[in-house]
Structure 1
Amino acid sequence: AQSEGRPCEYNSKIYQNGESFQPNCKHQCTCIDGAVGCIPLCPQELSLPNLGCPSPRLVKVPGQCCEEWVCDESKDALDELEGFFSKEFGLDDSEGELTRNNELIAIVKGGLKMLPVFGTEPQSRAFENPKCIVQTTSWSQCSKTCGTGISTRVTNDNPDCKLIKETRICEVRPCGQPSYASLKKGKKCTKTKKSPSPVKFTYAGCSSVKKYRPKYCGSCVDGRCCTPQQTRTVKIRFRCDDGETFTKSVMMIQSCRCNYNCPHAHEAYPYYRLVNDIHKFRD
């Protein structure tokens, strides 16, 4: 039986939800509800060499995929270490191909080349657990253009270092807000609008304990749609009528922008509701 969740399209191939594959010898990837997350198969490339190693550098080993650290005794250790920590490692051929085709990014921090991953800059805590390079994708678009929806991302930031899907509540704008079509020509469009009065978030028939004044995305007058540009995620406590309380992650909009990458005109994106649809990565 086919597992629930959206499949992924990767390098012109379709992978079902939960299916694992290797795009190259250095990465193991998994399709999770339309998003692809990858973990490294060459962890030694992401860790520091021994402190007593002068002039450390990564070299290719014949017959092996993973590069290994070597120590060059012939050069001044201090100068080489300074150069090592200041130099950014480039992508190899296979990673470069992934970058061009699938919006992968390589993050360099402190001279270390981190695992490429879909979406925004991944969070990494490689030194807390050498066996797990923590990677987190960007949040997906909200499942509804108005009213309460959900947004998802994939991460392995957990004790088991396993790829899981996280969700957060999101609301781009309240339903009933005027669209760009109703704005008069020449009227200044408001990309980001703050709630005029404190409101409570609602989820599954329950309400947030506290009131908030969230920002919403407004409208654009030139046919483009107004969508979140920068957001943050906060933990909010909810209370139900029976007195039960729980905490959920909620998206807070910081800024919006007008663009042509518009969701479907209906409230919920159709590709979110379909069972056997294909999710493509877009800019």
Structure 2
Amino acid sequence: MIFPFLLENRNLYLCWMFISQIRQSNSEKQGNTGEQSAESPGIFQRAELCHWPCTCPRVPACSPGVSLVMDGCGCCKMCAKQSGEICNEAEVCDPHKGLYCDYSADKPRYEQGVCAYIIAVGCELNGVHYINGQAFQPTPLYKCLCVNGAIGCTPVFISKSTSRECATIKSRKKSGQPRCASEQEKAAQSTDYRLMPAFRNIPLVLKKKCLVQATPWTPCSRTCGIGISDRVTNDNSKCEMRTEKRLCYIQPCQAKMSKTLKIPKGKTCRPTFQLAEAEKLAFSGCMSKQRYQPLFCGICLDRRCCIPNKSVMITVQFDCPKEGSFKWKMMWITSCVCQKTCIDPGNIFSELKFL
């Protein structure tokens, strides 16, 4: 009885056919979804690595060169994971070495990764190029690491075993044998490395609610002619640690200075000297506006070298042809001292020595 009625009402018939097709397609989709869910594996459940409230163990003592950082949960301090070590959401990689956690090998969970270096520029030291993340040992005293153009180094301590020798000496008690140091003497000897420049305390000055800190000036970048030295200080309006640079002028570049410079009779060194006339200073193709007659460090006939002992800071204005002018701070030497320890300005390890 329904078909004649639908045939008479063509529009109702078309609507009924359309609704029937929609119902059929929906039922097919539901059936396919059920089959796929039955065949596909279950959803991956990631392990809960962070738990709150935080319960932290004692703060660990990290090895030299390993950063002490906050874990990925934001709870506890941890020793950051290094290159090639396993990492995850909680155990983070060392951010100060440009490391990140690479999860690419843990598909499709992406739960456990390996610490790897980001793609960055390398480093150059004494004419040798090192890639980012490369570890090297330029001297027996230090192990270094290249991190995105910067070189970071940690000391290598060589412990000499003297316990067996001391036991032998105490048992024999022979005269002429070296005396074994006591535990207090050993402790005092083991801290000698703190006298090196790298371990010296930074000078502190309180200035307008800012605890001013400054590292010593680095040796001049050139042994003759105008060079550059720098230091790190927060002596600025924002009390931020910044690198400060200045010009330095230790000696003029003159051939055979030992023959032209007269050393007093009975002396082996002449600590300071000046040129006969004032002259303009040349820097980067520009000339100083004024003439200067600086005090230079002298020379020695033996193996000693003369370096600045006391100095003040002046400001020098340079005029450039057709390019305007600029000002630079400059070290103005007031006295020099001659010593056996000579510093090579091109070698950052020149001040190091065996303990």
1:12 deviates by 5.7
1:143 deviates by 1.0
The answer to whether the Cα contact below 8 Å between 1:5 and 1:17 also exists between their aligned partners in 2 is no
Alignment of 1:259-274 (within 5 A): 259-264=339-344, 269-271=345-347
How many residue pairs match? The answer is 185
The answer to whether the Cα contact below 8 Å between 1:185 and 1:221 also exists between their aligned partners in 2 is no
Which residue in 1 is equivalent to 2:206?
Answer: 125
Gaps of 5+ in 1: 20-31, 36-96, 106-115, 273-277
Which residue in 2 is equivalent to 1:215?
Answer: 295
Q: Distance in 1 between matches of 2:246 and 2:347?
A: 18
Which residue in 1 is equivalent to 2:282?
Answer: 202
- Ranked by relative contact order (alpha carbons within 8 Å, sequence separation 6 or more), the top structure is 1
| Structure 2 counterpart of 1:156, from 210, 234, 237 | 234
Normalising by structure 2, what TM-score? 0.43
Determine whether 1:257 maps to 2:340: no
1:279 deviates by 6.9
Q: Distance in 1 between matches of 2:239 and 2:146?
A: 21
The answer to whether the Cα contact below 8 Å between 2:145 and 2:151 also exists between their aligned partners in 1 is no
Q: Distance in 2 between matches of 1:18 and 1:219?
A: 40
Which residue in 1 is equivalent to 2:32?
Answer: none
The answer to whether the Cα contact below 8 Å between 1:125 and 1:134 also exists between their aligned partners in 2 is yes
Which residue in 2 is equivalent to 1:169?
Answer: 247
* 3-state DSSP of counterpart to 1:100: helix
Output one character per residue of 1:150-190: Cα deviation in whole Å (capped at 9) or x when no partner. Answer: 11111112233332211111111111154558878956432
Aligned residues with identical type, % of pairs: 31
* 3-state DSSP of counterpart to 2:311: strand
Q: Distance in 1 between matches of 2:151 and 2:327?
A: 23
1:33 deviates by 7.7
1:5 deviates by 8.3
* 3-state DSSP of counterpart to 1:170: strand
- Structure number with higher helix proportion: 2
Which residue in 2 is equivalent to 1:231?
Answer: 311
The answer to whether the Cα contact below 8 Å between 2:270 and 2:299 also exists between their aligned partners in 1 is yes
The answer to whether the Cα contact below 8 Å between 2:144 and 2:152 also exists between their aligned partners in 1 is no
The answer to whether the Cα contact below 8 Å between 1:124 and 1:135 also exists between their aligned partners in 2 is yes
The answer to whether the Cα contact below 8 Å between 1:207 and 1:240 also exists between their aligned partners in 2 is yes
The answer to whether the Cα contact below 8 Å between 1:171 and 1:216 also exists between their aligned partners in 2 is yes
**Residues 170 and 18 of structure 1, relative CA distance in 2, 3 Å threshold:** farther
Which residue in 2 is equivalent to 1:100?
Answer: 194
Q: Distance in 2 between matches of 1:210 and 1:230?
A: 23
Alignment of 1:17-56 (within 5 A): none
1:263 deviates by 3.3
**Residues 279 and 260 of structure 1, relative CA distance in 2, 3 Å threshold:** closer
| Structure 1 counterpart of 2:222, from 130, 134, 144 | 144
| Structure 2 counterpart of 1:248, from 328, 335, 338 | 328
**Residues 206 and 4 of structure 1, relative CA distance in 2, 3 Å threshold:** farther
What amino acid is aligned across from residue 278 of structure 2 in structure 1?
Answer: P
**Residues 225 and 200 of structure 1, relative CA distance in 2, 3 Å threshold:** same
**Residues 241 and 142 of structure 1, relative CA distance in 2, 3 Å threshold:** same
Q: Which moved more, 1:172-181 or 1:217-226?
A: 172-181
